A and B are shown apart, each in its own frame.
Chain A
Amino acid sequence: MTELSPAATEAHRAIEAIWRIESARLIAGLARVVGDIGTAEELAQDALVAALEQWPISGVPEKPGAWLMGTAKHRAIDLLRRRQTLERKHEEIGRDIERAQEVIDPEAAMDEDVGDELLGLIFMACHPVLSKDARVALTLRVLGGLTTEEIARAFLVPVSTIAQRIVRAKRTLTEARVRFEVPAGPERVARLASVLEVIYLIFNEGYSATAGDDLVRPALCEEALRLGRILAELITTEAEVHGLVALMEIQASRLRARIGPSGEAILLLDQNRSRWDRLLIRRGLAALERAERLGGAMGPYALQAAIAACHARASTAADTDWPRMVALYDAVAELAPSPVIELNRAVAVGMAFGPAAGLALVDGLVSEPPLSTYHLLPAVRGDLLRKLGRSAEARAEFERAASLTQNVAERKLLQRRAAECTAEGMAG
């Protein structure tokens, strides 16, 4: 391997940073011209390779984004011409070239409605024709500017798995003839729901890592937050977009407080609230206000954000407005009924009206199929039993919960709870 000169190393680092900033816009602009993400990404990569060859010698241009766009669009036109020769679809391709030439001036290219192009790319990458896993991987790749290796590391899966997922996703989009567009009307609502779901999936994978030793992977939370914040600037009039941003900001505000000194999980009600990030809480409450100001019935994300805000506003766990919490969970359960929501509602009921009331609800959920292997059900049940002084039963529940979780740090916490119950049982 040849040693790079310090200047070249510096140029490479700058190029990497520029790629992170520009790649989504670049791919979006190109996808609008060539019609598919796969080709757009290849063209963008070609421009990146050209930059890697030229910039270490010539220096980084004053407007690197415009340079990349100009280079890539020249190649896009060449490609469209070659396609024309090959396919002889004169009329259609002729129009494509015209469209590409309109934006060939790099300055003008950057002044295009970048917002609409980015939105088009987001809607395409999150198209419901793709599986959830595919949507997540493709979104991180083309909108987050992450490499396949980085995505694989974040999800603890082999690089080849992610690479295949992305290749297949692009092929599916082409085969399904998914168009590059910003959908309108009722389709927009459905497609937007898919976009929000993808962003929240990314956030949750970071926030409550489902596997591995780490309890949280902050990088994924940061990526999701960034995507959410960008989306909220692109789509300002949809309450649920702001609702999702509010939810993520407030949940992220607790990241620091969720992990103890030895990497163990700390549950929300036991967290040291002085460690909550006031800035993110403030941003979250502002986003929630934006959602509420848009009016209409609150959607599932805004409602969950309102629940998170209830915690954020209380200076101690005891100060939490639990009756309001129950009402909010009622509303969520009505919109999006799920056993997990019911379980959360039972926790709120336990806090608002006593552990016996909460336990009665949890007992009703034990036979729900999706919950039968869900570690939080015995964890919650154990907690309520413990409050009722039924230590032996509580211990059994915590042990069961510990055996059900895949997360090492969480298992440790649950085992500690079980041990505490044993101690209480002996003391009592």
Chain B
Amino acid sequence: MRVLVLAKEDHQSQAGKPPTPEMMAEFQTFNEELVKAGVVIGDGRLYPSSQGKRMRFDGKKRTVIDGPFAETKELVAGYWLWQVRSIDEALEWLKRSPFDAGTYEIRQIMEFEGM
């Protein structure tokens, strides 16, 4: 199955506190391990929400809202696409990550619908 792993960062990281070189190196090592295990099939980091836009739909009306967005706990800062056999496997991999703050969300992607 394919899962989307969403990195939801807190206030501080959204405020632009850059990760230390040590953190970056640890992250790199972890990410490499995932790639070597054939787990990562896609990934990306997002710019802060201050550079983002939202569009709200209400009937025919479209409203554009400029960032930054207020709900800091729910802001996605990056994502991974993983190919795993189960949600449990995704959890096991995530446990091994070097992260020490923030929330990470695992969501299964629908595939092979109608089969």
Contact = CB atoms under 8 A, between A and B. Distances in A.
Interface of A: 13-14, 16-18, 20-21, 64, 115, 214, 218, 222, 225-230, 233-234, 255-256, 259, 261, 263, 279-280, 283
Given A17-B86, A263-B115, A279-B41, A230 B92 contact: no
Contact of A256 (B35, B41, B92, B112): B112
Given A14-B91, A229-B38, 11 more contacts: A16-B86, A115-B36, A218-B115, A226-B83, A228-B38, A230-B36, A255-B112, A259-B112, A259-B114, A279-B42, A279-B81
B18 to A, nearest CB: 28
Contacts of B35: 233
A115 B33 CA distance: 11
B83 A218 contact: no
Contacts of B107: none
A279 to B, nearest CB: 6
Nearest to B91: A17
Interface size classification for chain B? 10 to 19
Contact of A16 (B38, B41, B88): B88
B85 interface: yes
A57 to B, nearest CB: 19
B36 A256 contact: no
B37 interface: yes
Contact of B88 (A13, A225, A261, A280): A13
Given A16-B88, A218-B112, A263-B115, A21 B37 contact: yes
A230 B91 contact: no
Contacts of A226: 38, 83
A13 B88 CA distance: 7
5 contacts: A17-B89, A234-B36, A259-B112, A259-B115, A279-B42
B27 interface: no
Contacts of A227: 38
Nearest to B92: A17
A218 B85 CA distance: 12
A17 B91 CA distance: 9
